Structure 1
Amino acid sequence: MGMMSEFKKFAVKGNVVDMAVGIVIGAAFGKIVSSFVNDVLMPPVGMLIGGVDFSDLAFTLKEAVGEKAAITINYGSFIQTALDFIIIALAIFMVVKGMNSLKKKEEAKPAEPPKPSNEELLLTEIRDLLKKD
């Protein structure tokens, strides 16, 4: 039972839960960016360079023989994947930059001056009383 309680304690820690949420959201965000690159960004780029579909770009090393498939280097798919990565990295950079600026704003807030101790309050009262006389 000790191991289960340790696991439960580990699993419900804030960092683990935050990390799990981040991974799930990151995976979903990756799918959105891939769709954006493949379905929105690459068709116009392909049209601008002569109606090329990037997913079809490949070097054929060996032609198909019978039932054996051709051996190709699919550099068009690589270009799309690299573009996916660049867009995801840029988006994550912007999010991290925004979070860091929020943290800096919180840190930049001036801290409240410390409250005077009981001795200081007592001495202040004595001083004020002596001024009156």
Structure 2
Amino acid sequence: MLTDFKKFAMKGNVIDLAVGVVIGGTFGKIVTSLVKDIIMPLVGLLLGGINLTERQYSLGEDALKYGAFIQTVIDFLIISFSIFLFIRLFNRFKRKEEEKPAAAPTPTKEEQLLTEIRDLLKEQRR
């Protein structure tokens, strides 16, 4: 069982997935900081000094924190748009690599001989 688990854990896809999760988590923190520390203060400034994260509606002892929800939605939109741009850029580079023409394979001796025969037959028909 331990051997099977080791084979599974060392497959390339699992390692790629683990790296993606770590990078994605860090990327999420960067975007959250961008939204919390840069974008939301600017939005608050545009709205007249309102801090959206502190906005809430009281329901007795409980509160509906709609400002925090709005910030989370903005986080999501920025993260998803950033990932979209990254994937689009990645696909563009991938397409450019695929579009590069492959070098024409050198003909084999048989192909060279057949080409010569074809050319000779064309000359005889003229």
Q: Normalized against structure 1, the TM-score is what?
A: 0.80
Q: Hey, what does 1:80 align to over in structure 2?
A: 71
Cα offsets for 1:70-108 (capped at 9, x unmatched): 211100000100110111011100110011001101111
The one of 8, 11, 18 aligned to 1:10: 8
CA drift of 1:14 comes to 1.4
CA drift of 1:118 comes to 3.3
Equivalent residue of 1:113, what SS? coil
Q: How big is the alpha-carbon RMSD for the aligned residues of Structure 1 and Structure 2?
A: 1.9
Which segments of 5 or more consecutive residues in structure 1 lack a partner in the other structure? 63-69, 128-133
Q: Hey, what does 1:55 align to over in structure 2?
A: 53
Equivalent residue of 1:72, what SS? strand
Q: Hey, what does 2:111 align to over in structure 1?
A: 120
Q: Normalized against structure 2, the TM-score is what?
A: 0.84
Higher helix share: 2
Provide the rounded CA distance (Å) in 2 between the counterparts of 1:7 and 1:115: 46
CA drift of 1:24 comes to 0.4
Provide the rounded CA distance (Å) in 2 between the counterparts of 1:49 and 1:123: 79
CA drift of 1:114 comes to 2.8
The one of 73, 82, 89 aligned to 1:91: 82
Matched, 1:23 2:14: no
Runs of 4+ in 1 over 3 A off after TM superposition: 121-127
Provide the rounded CA distance (Å) in 2 between the counterparts of 1:23 and 1:40: 25
